[in-house]
Amino acid sequence: MRGIWRRFGHVVANRDVSLDLAPGTIHALVGENGAGKSTLMRTLYGLLQPDRGAIVIDDRQVHLRRPADAMHLGIGMVHQHFMLVPTLTVAENVTLGHEPQTLGLFRRRRAVREVESLAKRHGLEVDPRARVGALSVGAQQRVEILKTLYRGARVLILDEPTAVLTPHEVEDLFRMLRELRQQGATIVLITHKLAEVKALAGHVTIMRAGEVVADAPVEGLSIEAMAETMVGRPIPALQAPSARPGATIMLSVRALDVADDRGLPAVKRASFDVHAGEIVGVAGVEGNGQHELVECLAGLRPPLRGEISIVGHRCTGRSAREHFAAGLAHSPSDRLHRGLVPDMNLGENLILGRHHDRDLGAGPFLSPRRVARFARPLIEAFDVRPPDPDARAAGLSGGNQQKLIAARELSRGASVILAAHPTRGVDLGAVAFIHSRLMDERNAGHGVLLVSAELSEILTLSDRIFVMFEGDLVYEVRAQDTDERELGLYMTGRRRGPR
């Protein structure tokens, strides 16, 4: 890529960016949210066209007007939010649009054989007959990679590929990527996790504010040096002093049973308290009931039985609005479907839950001017980019969408903060900022329930930790009395014990 420029209105997303990708390499592309990484890769994939600059493949300048052009030239992209049809099988998803046919009829058995052979050749273990909707997140990601390989991809772009994976799934992914590299594939890894860059990549390009600020071999670069180059300043480590929880119970859960979407038990007899001035972490491999627990506590899923109280108000079976009125703020794990309305602008998303406030309206209608005036200081305080209340939420990067949700929920003054994966897909600077805000909530005497698949996050922030396995809270421990290895044993069911 040579001298790529790309503007969105008055915002310059890519400013004279050049990038070289060599065959048989893993190349990391890192930077803060809004640094221009995804814009650059969407340009390479044909989703966007540059305002200026050139793309050269095999010494030939090409014009990529759509993703089909990129795929024809061997460029594939696995997006952060998967592009799969959950009701179709793995084979049907992989061959979609390129189905093996005879006389116009889909050759299902041939599709299964082809996908099975492709998966075996590249070490991507997945059942081609399985329904995609029933697969784990890690398996769905393998399906996405198979889709690109089925279409002949030589360059594979992965956008935040480990954001929703368990530690075991991350290990599997890294093994697969190393095998693909050995087979001659070129892999571009967009990530915020610099430890992954050190573990996997041979070369790193660091972007800041739309420009390349460093381009070098990974060997010899420390994580601290990459982080400082990425954000333009040192990032101090968060020091989380031990809390002295108050006697007031902010969130009380008793004998709670919750079903999943199929009606099967997902949470079993869960009982715990969150006190004023403490952060309680819930660790676990995704799919062990955390999602259903969070939705039930937020009033988005009814319990089968049990009791929920928020600051002394019994909320069992009540609506989300009643949970909100009782003093709950909720940062959901699914930012696109639960956290935001993508077609609304930033200001409108920031007033969700407050849209009945009289000072935001003009008679029976919302006042765009008042909404923008309310939104601007929050956008500035949480460094949401672009800093425009009128920008559509759908146009933000994933990390900036997460910061937008944090700005709304952590500004409510709520007594209980329900934070599910609050830093997923967020850059290091924003992670540090969100962590400090959660600590501020704790220090202000509020109760925080933190659900995260990132054990480092759980151990850094939590005062007490629960481990969830197959719907049960199987272990309770003070954060200073455990480590990632011990928690991992409980998370995978290899160790179980009384709470």
| Interaxial angle between packed helices 167-182 and 108-122, expressed in degrees from 0 to 180 and rounded to the nearest 10 | 90
Mean pLDDT is lowest, of 36-50, 107-121, 205-219, 228-242, for 228-242
Q: What is the pairing mode between strands 2-8 and 155-159?
A: unpaired
| 164-178, 209-223, 230-244, range with greatest mean pLDDT | 209-223
CATH class label, 249-491: alpha beta
Backbone angles phi, psi at 188, to 5 degrees: -105, 120
**pLDDT, average across residues 242-258:** 90
Of all residues in the chain, the percent with pLDDT exceeding 70 is 97
Structure token digits, residue 83? 């592009």
Sign of the torsion angle spanned by Cα atoms 198, 199, 204, 209: negative
- Minimum mean pLDDT among 175-184, 251-260, 426-435: which range? 426-435
Least confident of 234-238, 435-439, 451-455: 234-238
Q: Is the pLDDT of residue 3 over 90?
A: yes
pLDDT surpassing 80 at residue 303: yes
Q: In what order do the strands lie in the sheet with 249-259?
A: 265-275, 249-259, 305-310, 313-314
pLDDT grade for 489, boundaries at 50, 70 and 90:
confident
Alpha helices in 355-421 (DSSP H): 368-381, 398-409
Per-residue pLDDT, 160? 86
**Could you give the CA distance from residue 21 to residue 36 in angstroms, rounded to a whole number?**
17
C-alpha–C-alpha distance, residues 209 and 14, integer Å: 8
189: pLDDT strictly greater than 70? yes
Query: What's the average model confidence in pLDDT over 277-294?
Result: 92
DSSP state of 238: P
Q: Tell me if 2-231 shares its fold with 249-491.
A: yes
Q: Is the pLDDT of residue 241 over 70?
A: no
Mean pLDDT of 226-247: 77
Region of 104 please: left (phi>0), alpha (psi -120 to 50) or beta. left
Instruction: Inform me whether the pLDDT recorded for 87 exceeds 70.
Output: yes
499 pLDDT more than 60: no
pLDDT higher at 136 or 449: 449
What pLDDT score does 497 carry? 64
pTM for this one?
0.75
- Check residue 404 and give left, alpha or beta (phi > 0: left; psi -120 to 50: alpha): alpha
β-strands 464-469, 265-275 pairing = unpaired
pLDDT of residue 243: 67
Output the pLDDT for position 278.
Answer: 96
What percent of the chain has a predicted confidence (pLDDT) above 90? Answer: 70
Q: Which residues touch 56 (CB under 8 Å, ≥6 apart)?
A: 1, 2, 62
Angle at the Cα of 367 from the Cα atoms of 365 and 368, rounded to 5 degrees:
130
Task: Say yes or no to pLDDT of 242 above 80.
Answer: no
3-class DSSP state of 313: strand
**What mean pLDDT do residues 134-157 have?**
90
Asked whether the beta carbons of 313 and 414 are under 8 A apart, the reply is no
Lowest mean pLDDT among 197-201, 214-218, 381-385, 439-443: 381-385
pLDDT of res. 66: 95
* 211-217 vs 249-259, strand pairing mode: unpaired
Q: What's the whole-number mean pLDDT along residues 80-106?
A: 91
Helix (H) or strand (E) run with residue 116 in it: helix 108-122
pLDDT of residue 456: 87
pLDDT of residue 494: 76
Closest-CA residue to 433 (of 391, 383, 483)? 383
CA-CA distances (angstroms) from residue 211 to 69, 157, 208, 382? 26, 19, 5, 22
What secondary structure letter does DSSP report for 237? P
Q: Is the pLDDT of residue 227 over 70?
A: yes
pLDDT at 54: 97
**429 neighbors 408 (Cβ within 8 angstroms):** no
Distance, in Å, from the CA atom of 331 to the CA atom of 405, rounded to the nearest integer, reads: 6
**pLDDT for 412-422, tens place per residue?**
999 999 999 99
- pLDDT of residue 10 exceeding 90, the answer is no
Q: Spell out the domain ranges in the chain.
A: 2-231, 249-491
> What is the fold of 2-231?
Rossmann fold (3.40.50)
Q: 3-class DSSP state for residue 194?
A: helix
Residue 246: what pLDDT?
83
CB 66 within 8 A of CB 265: no
Which residue type sits at 77? Answer: M
Lowest mean pLDDT among 79-88, 250-259, 271-280, 298-307: 79-88
- Greater pLDDT, 166 or 41: 41
Average pLDDT over residues 196-224: 95
The pLDDT of 83-112, averaged and rounded, is: 93
242, two tokens: 């031990």
**Mean residue pLDDT across the chain:** 91
